[in-house]
Amino acid sequence: MRSVFTVFHDGQFWVGVYEIHEDGLVRAARHVFGAEPNNAELAAFAAGPEFSALSREAHAAPAVPAARRPSARLTAKRAAKLAKKLQDDVGPGTAAQRALRESVAERVSENKAARKRREAAEAQHRRALARARSRARHRGRS
C-alpha cells in the first residue's frame, strides 16, 4: 500500500489530497486549508488528529481503478517529455479526482435520503397534530 499527500492551490483555496494506492485501486480524501499553509502548519497537521480523520475518510472512500497506461517502446524524446510532465505534475491524479467525486456523490445521496426521511417524519407529525386539533374542535374543546 502506497499513500501520497499532495498540497496544491486549486485557484481559490489551498487543498491537501490524501491518496491511497493499493492493488491497482485508488482511494482519496481532501482537506481544505484555505490560506497557504507553511511547513510548521503542515507538520502540525500531519501529526495531529485532523490527518488521522483524513486517513479514515480516505479508507472509507470508494475505491476507483487506477489508470493503467499501455507500455510501449519509448524513444529518448518521449521519455524526456514524460519525465518533464511528471516533474511538472501538481495536484492529485485523475484517479484520485474520480475517487473524490464518487465519495462526494455518495455523501450527497446519503444526505438526500436522510433529508427525505426527516421531512416525511415531520409531515407525519404535523398531520397527527392537525388531526388531534380537529378531533378536539369536533368534541367542543378549543
Kindly tell me if the per-residue pLDDT of 62 is higher than 80.
Answer: yes
90 CB-near residues (< 8 Å, 6+ apart): 6, 8
Residue linked to cell 518521449: 78
Name the residue with higher pLDDT: 133 or 22. 133
Confidence of residue 68 (pLDDT cuts 50, 70, 90): low
Instruction: Measure Cα distances from 45 to 9, 41, 49 in Å.
Output: 17, 6, 8
Confidence of residue 95 (pLDDT cuts 50, 70, 90): confident
Give the tens place of pLDDT for each residue, 1-10: 788 888 888 8
Average pLDDT over residues 69-96: 73
d(CA 59, CA 135): 54
